[in-house]
A and B are shown apart, each in its own frame.
Chain A
């Protein structure tokens, strides 16, 4: 049972697929990203915003991508959506969406898929909605370009969607402008817009960061409910571990454009193997921890993506880099299985990882009972 998860999701799932093959599409997965690299040439040098990230996602499942600002999580999602087109981004690797490769696909084809087969929810719903158009128009617009329907039908569809995302009086609110909505309602409208064409992949880029805490929980519940209803695969991008604990089946921890750790959410919360993941968990405020305990921040700041530190990009901030006989400084760690379907890019041996995490968990006073703190039904 997921110890840190508020919401149980049908027990243990199949192990996350290991990622080794880069030549053929996975047959089963809704989304299969292999060795994705997104680089931006700038005057100061090459910014390796995403540098070799791989993951898979099945229908009806949720992947959480976690990392600090500048870890490449948003760039990854925009890359999947093909929204780097028209910029100077250099993209390589493979993205298979339902068996169709997107990196090499034409811009026009990706545009057709955008909004219909894959849709995105953005961080700040006020700035992400156009201030001059009604909410209904903006929802109907997405539906109209991908479906041959009348404007009237599209508007009725918008009313229906607003109703389903829990907007009261959708018949009248459909003609309101975004500024007449509250923050939570705007995000609901954004979700309605993203769901307008019943997408198979829904990417939510920090969907609750700009919202009140009380509204955050409502939006997360809504997303969980709608995922059940629409059966979409969902990627949630966040720096808030509470959000992924609530929703994610799998978790990808990103650092400096690379995968630090990848596994099921049980793996990441119960058996984290990467010092960066330990740092994230240690810096997360928790109710079940003694009040007087200080949060343990990760020292330092995220690295520059132009001059990435040698070896393991995390080593300047890592308290355990000294245990690897200099390998962390000199050698880039490759992703390595540390358990079934659980991978980490760290030079520490699996035994050392288990020992250190055991000590850390004890220091954080995670008694077995306390670890099963659940926010709601469980």
Chain B
């Protein structure tokens, strides 16, 4: 078990390095392959009709003229040691961990992401608990009462849930429960440490909206898994022992049916921590998703690069956690 985890950890470190290389290449190699020069890139950061000297200064300040491996090396060094951007009168310092420096906002990227993170985490954790509990419960009941009204109804709702986009369900819920009947008025993010009650109240609508989408998916997955598991031979064995039906369902059926759900849950949660773009935009929550959208809209390359790497980092970590969890729940993986 220990060697399994250590092996996985080492693999994860390598994976992160490769992911960062690919991300870096996407942002700095692809434009060059498409014919963009370092001067062209630099000219985006100096106003209209710049003098060649000004462009050259920026080019030097950002290090765009250096070969790509050197730029990547600087990027990695910046994460560990921080980085100074000095060129003439323009001086900027990006303290470690430096995931880039936004010259448009004149701020290092990392602190901006850190301040957006609690919003995204609050949203993701709350919604994921809701959808996991709700989706699995509905899926199990649907599977056990296959063909009944409950099954048909909940699977119909689930189909709707999977199909309806967040910006529809989110706006409808806002229109109904925030404006028409102001149960949750003035939805905006309040940090948990500031006021736990307001934090929760303002997040109810985003949580439910986001959870609705995922719960629908999880209900269908759980139902399918449960139907398959309950027809397994070992379920018949459990019944043949004389176990009562609840023990058969929970201890023998659900235990096996939940294992693949854990995998998908880990991956979904990891992806969400990188920013729930649609939900955060719909509910104006200043999380990583909104940060990403703003960065893309203003074509702020260092911000986009930083948030992409952070999102990739979450997914890789989620993978690691899922792998280890899988070994914990499934002895066939462990041995």
A residues with a Cβ closer than 8 A to B are: 81, 83, 86, 111-116, 119-120, 122, 124, 127-132, 134, 138, 141-142, 145-146, 177, 179-180, 190, 193
- Can you report 25 A-B residue pairs in the complex whose CB atoms are below 8 A from each other? A81-B240, A83-B240, A111-B243, A114-B239, A114-B241, A115-B241, A116-B242, A119-B241, A122-B240, A124-B233, A127-B233, A127-B234, A128-B234, A128-B237, A130-B237, A130-B252, A131-B234, A131-B332, A132-B329, A141-B241, A142-B241, A145-B241, A145-B244, A177-B335, A193-B241
Chain B residues within 8 Å of A193, by CB: 237, 241
B interface size (C-beta, 8 A): 22
B214 to chain A, nearest CB (A): 25
Chain B residues within 8 Å of A120, by CB: 240
Listed from nearest, the 6 A-B pairs whose CB atoms lie closest are A115-B242, A114-B242, A127-B233, A142-B241, A115-B241, A177-B331
B215 to chain A, nearest CB (A): 25
Task: Look across to chain A and name the residue whose beta carbon is closest to the beta carbon of B242.
Answer: A115
Query: B205-248: contact bitstring with A at CB < 8 Å (1 yes, 0 no)?
Result: 00000000000000000000000000011101111111111000
A238 to chain B, nearest CB (A): 17
Most buried by A among B232, B234, B335: B234
Docked pose: A122 CA to B252 CA in angstroms:
17
Task: Look across to chain B and name the residue whose beta carbon is closest to the beta carbon of A115.
Answer: B242
Docked pose: A352 CA to B237 CA in angstroms:
45
A174 to chain B, nearest CB (A): 14
Task: Look across to chain B and name the residue whose beta carbon is closest to the beta carbon of A130.
Answer: B234
B residues with a Cβ closer than 8 A to A are: 232-234, 236-245, 252, 255-256, 259, 329-332, 335
Contact in complex: B241, A131 (CB < 8 Å): no
Task: Look across to chain A and name the residue whose beta carbon is closest to the beta carbon of B331.
Answer: A177
Interface of B is mostly: helix
Chain B residues within 8 Å of A128, by CB: 233-234, 236-237
Contact in complex: A113, B240 (CB < 8 Å): no
B65 to chain A, nearest CB (A): 59
Chain A residues within 8 Å of B252, by CB: 130
Chain A residues within 8 Å of B232, by CB: 127
Task: Look across to chain B and name the residue whose beta carbon is closest to the beta carbon of A203.
Answer: B240
Docked pose: A138 CA to B234 CA in angstroms:
10
Chain A residues within 8 Å of B236, by CB: 83, 122, 128
Task: Look across to chain A and name the residue whose beta carbon is closest to the beta carbon of B235.
Answer: A130
Contact in complex: A132, B331 (CB < 8 Å): yes
Docked pose: A115 CA to B330 CA in angstroms:
26
Most buried by B among A86, A132, A138: A132
Docked pose: A190 CA to B241 CA in angstroms:
11
Contact in complex: A142, B242 (CB < 8 Å): yes
Contact in complex: B234, A119 (CB < 8 Å): no
Given contacts A129-B234, A129-B237, contact A141 B243 (CB under 8 A): yes
Given contacts A130-B238, A142-B242, contact A122 B233 (CB under 8 A): yes
Docked pose: A119 CA to B241 CA in angstroms:
7
A201 to chain B, nearest CB (A): 12
Task: Look across to chain A and name the residue whose beta carbon is closest to the beta carbon of B335.
Answer: A180
Chain B residues within 8 Å of A177, by CB: 331-332, 335
Docked pose: A81 CA to B243 CA in angstroms:
13
B48 to chain A, nearest CB (A): 66
Docked pose: A193 CA to B238 CA in angstroms:
11
Task: Look across to chain B and name the residue whose beta carbon is closest to the beta carbon of A190.
Answer: B237
Task: Look across to chain B and name the residue whose beta carbon is closest to the beta carbon of A107.
Answer: B245
